[in-house]
Structure 1
Amino acid sequence: MQQIRQRLSAIEKDIRSELVALDPQWRDMALGDIIELMAKRELCGNAIYARLVRLDAAICQLELGLYGLCADCEAEIEADRIASDPTEQRCQLCDEQFRHQHRQELRLTH
Structure 2
Amino acid sequence: MSIISHVVVGTNDLERARVFYDAVLKTLGVKRVVNLETASLWGTESPEFMVTRPGNGLPSTYANGGTIGFAAPNRAAVHAFHEAAIKARCQGRGTARPAPVYPHVLRCICTGSGR
After TM superposition, the score normalised by the length of structure 2 is 0.23
Higher normalized strand content (fraction of residues)? 2
**Larger Cα Rg: Structure 1 or Structure 2?**
1
More relative contact order in 1 or in 2 (CA 8 Å, sep 6+)? 2
